[in-house]
Structures are given as structure tokens and as C-alpha cells.
Structure 1
Amino acid sequence: MREADVFELADHALRDVVERIKDDQWEREVPDAMRWRAGTRVLRDVVNHHAYDDIWVPDVLAGRTPAEVGDRYEGDLLGDDPRRSFARIVDTAVAAVREFEDLDKIVHLSYGDFPARVYLLHITIFRGFGAYDIARFAGMDTELPAPLVRGLWDMIEPEADELRAIGVFGPKITVPDDASPQDRLLALSGRDPSR
């Protein structure tokens, strides 16, 4: 499966989870493990951070640097209709990735310059596991689409030790030999599927 296809599956899975957030859950305080960015306190902040990550995709793939983009995406990106705003941002990011072809092109991130394929790996992981983490936090069904689980496994498994070494994943969790593909994927990322 192409990197762009896995990205699209992950972004759509995240969009679908955001669509199911209940009105009374947006201001629910999140645990420390979900506070990836300074100022993240409640679920709305987590979703806004995912929107922020997504809204950068067209600029990053176009080769713009963080300095060129500046702070235009800072602040609340969700507005009065967070579900619709988030879906619109996802659609724009997915369209940019679909149109992008040069995976060896160097792109400029806040943490360095990387080939676009590495950038897609990073953001696809963030969205795929974000869909799971938000669904779990909000008490939703946490089952990810089977094609997404397969695509994430194929992208992540060869890189898992390196991702673990740089702190993206926690220690690998041991699961039974007959564990489901999703449980194996979660364990690979350091998430305990039994919790």
C-alpha cells in the first residue's frame, strides 16, 4: 500500500472519531499522555493540535519552511463547529498528499529537514494512533479499519526499534501469539491493548 493511501486511511479514521465526539466531551480534561503540546488541557485542545498538524501538510509538501509559514495557523482552528472545521482541514490535507509524488523531496519541519516519505511516516503514525487514543479516551469503539491496521503495520514494523529509540513509542508490550492484528500493532507502539 502506498504511503499516501495509509495517510488517507489514518486521517479519515481520525476524522471519523472526531465526528463522534459528544458535545459534553470537548472540555473534558485529558491525561498527561495526550498533552503533546504546551497548553493542551482538554479534548478540544488535542483535536485542535491534530488540526494544526494537518493544516500544515500542503505547505510542508510545497517545500515551505516554518519561517515562511510563520504563525498563521496558531490559535483555535476549530471555531464554532469543530467537527465540520476538522473535516474540512482533513479534506485539504488528504488532497495535498494525493497530489504529491516526490517522496524523496526534502521537506522542512520544525525539527529538521527530512525526505517527504519520513514526514508522511511521522504524520501517519500521529493520526492513526491519535484516532485510537481519542476513541479510547472518549469511550468509543476503538476498532481501527483493518486496511489502516495493515498499512500502519507495514510502515511501522521495519522502523519500530528506531522510533522507540527516539521516544516516539514506549517499550514493546508482549501479546499472545494469537493476538489480533490491531493488538499486535498497539503492542508494537508500546500501548497495552488489554487496558
Structure 2
Amino acid sequence: MAPTPLDLIPAAIDRFGARVRAVPADRWDAPTPCTEWTVRDLVNHMVSEHLWAPHILAGETLEQVGARYDGDVVGDDPAGAWARAAELSRAAWLGTDLAGSARFSFGEAPLTVYADQMLVDLTVHGWDLARGAGLDESLDPDGVAHSLAYARANVDRFSGLGIVAPPVPTTSTDPAVQLLSLLGRTV
């Protein structure tokens, strides 16, 4: 039986964290494949997402959480900020059963969809981080397989929301390259 996002998220959090800790001091301002984000900006985005996760998984609304995680949430210590957010996020994911739903900026959705999206973000942004920081770009095959299936099923919706760049054509049979290309990355 294939692992679920809930099975894969804790290890994906750890892999992303290992890359954050490995960012060389002179690469925090380097560009990433996310054209509007530097390495630091990308980590800031992921820290914010993982600070939100415990609230969403606990059933809080967007209004209840408010704007507390907007803007700069990493300060002078992006790696430390990631470590703190990751610890809270991991605990929340391990403590949930994904039976419910939550209200997101795009509307009401099952928590299973949120788990899919979180795994895609950890996987693809892990590659973005590695590319921007000059680190090993290899990806977890299980995370790629699940993320690719989710992305294939939702790429048209993603494009309509403007949250990813348009797909980049590829003839590669490598699932990681297919995933990254589908989500607008040139590999």
C-alpha cells in the first residue's frame, strides 16, 4: 500500500529542515526557481505555512489566526525559525486524523487536500531551496510520486489561481522532472 501524505509529511519536514540548516551563509539572498523569492524569502514562506498548520489542523478559522504570520517571520535566524515552526507543525500533523475540513483562502476543503498541498510544497520547495542554495537537489521518490499524482489532477486549477508558473514542457520520464516541470520549474 502506498504511503499517505500523513505518512510522508514528518520526513518531508525533516528533509526540508536539513536543507535549511545546510544553506551557506552567503546564499540566503540567492535567487530561487520561485522567481520572486530569494532563499530567505522561500524559507520565510515555508515557516509561515508551518506556523499556520497547527491552527488549521486544530480547526481554527483564518479569521481567528488573523495576520500574525504575515510578513517576515524568520528575522535574523531563518534556520532557527524553521526549526521552531517545524516542531509545531510535525506535532500537529502527527496528532491529526484528517477526518474534517477547514476553510482556506481558496474555500472549504477536506484536511486530506491540505495534507496533499503541504506535501507538494515541502517536496517542490525543497528542490527550490536546494537549487537556490547550491545543495543536493535529489527528492524523496515517495514524496515525488504522491505529489506528481496530486499535481497532475490539479494543474489546471493551480494555473487558474496563479499560484504556480505555467507548466514547462518536458520529454523526461523521470517523475521528479515531470513534477517540477508540471509546476513551472525548468530542470
In structure 2, the residue matched to 1:61 is 57
* Map of 1:183 onto structure 2: 177
Cα distance per residue 1:122-146 (max 9 Å; x no partner): 2222221111111111221111122
Counterparts of 1:77 and 1:138, CA distance in 2: 20
Question: Counterparts of 2:70 and 2:156 in 1: how far apart (Å)?
Answer: 33
Structure 2: which amino acid aligns with 1:93?
S
C-alpha contact 1:30 1:43 (8 A) present in aligned 2: yes
Q: Deviations over 1:2-44 (max 9, x none)?
A: 1212333432222122111111222x25368343xxxx6x432
Q: Distance in 1 between matches of 2:49 and 2:92?
A: 13
Q: CA deviation at 1:101?
A: 0.7
Identity between Structure 1 and Structure 2 (%)? 29
| Structure 1, unpaired ranges of 5+ | none
The farther-off stretch of 67-76 and 47-56 is 67-76
Distance 2:65 2:141 in 1: 36
RMSD: 2.4
Instruction: Say whether the 8 Å CA contact 1:106–1:113 is kept in structure 2.
Output: yes
Aligned to 1:25: 27
Q: Alignment length, in residue pairs? A: 184
Q: Deviations over 1:90-149 (max 9, x none)?
A: 12112211211134x221223322211222222222221111111111221111122222
**Structure 2 length as normaliser, TM-score?**
0.83
- Please show how residues 147-186 of structure 1 align to structure 2 within 5 Å: 147-169=142-164, 170-176=166-172, 179-186=173-180
Q: TM-score, normalised by structure 1?
A: 0.80
Whichever residue aligns with residue 88 of structure 2, its letter is T
Counterpart Cα distance in 2 of 1:88 and 1:171: 33
